[in-house]
């Protein structure tokens, strides 16, 4: 399960950004073609976040659909896999999105005075 390593990386990056403050919410973007299972990341997050600044933080995952542009006719093609075929019959597709793994937002606990 490579999601465990990925999740540990995410937690390490967020911890660095948090600079010692509690993290309330993390928004992740995971591309559908990235072969990363959002459910598995969520599961690992709950375990790995224990005893870190992210303990109790809400992990939100936004799935980014796979999208490619056809080199032949320029049409946009939605992809469920990292390969596909355009309506025009061409298989020469340039991926636009769907492979990303991004930490989109980090919400740090505000300390009210």
Binding site for Zn ion (CB under 5 A): 70, 72-73, 75, 86, 88, 90
Output 12 or 88, the one with its CB closest to Zn ion.
88
Give dist(CA 30, CA 24) in Å, integer: 20
- Min dist CB 57 to Zn ion, Å, is 43
> Which 3 state secondary structure label does DSSP give 86?
coil
- Min dist CB 73 to Zn ion, Å, is 3
Sheet arrangement for strand 66-70:
76-79, 66-70, 93-97
For 10, which DSSP code? H
- Min dist CB 80 to Zn ion, Å, is 17
Output 12 or 73, the one with its CB closest to Zn ion.
73
């Amino acid at each position: 399960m490579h999601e465990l390593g990925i999740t540990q990386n995410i937690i390490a990056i967020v911890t660095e950004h948090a600079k010692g403050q509690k993290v309330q919410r993390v928004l992740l973007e995971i591309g559908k073609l990235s072969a990363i299972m959002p459910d598995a990341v969520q599961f690992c997050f709950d375990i790995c976040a224990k005893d870190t600044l992210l303990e109790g933080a809400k992990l939100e995952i936004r799935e980014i659909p796979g999208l490619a542009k056809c080199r032949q006719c320029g049409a946009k093609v939605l992809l469920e896999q990292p390969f596909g075929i355009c309506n025009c019959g061409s298989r020469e597709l340039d991926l636009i999105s769907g492979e990303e793994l991004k930490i989109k937002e980090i919400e740090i606990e505000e300390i009210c005075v």
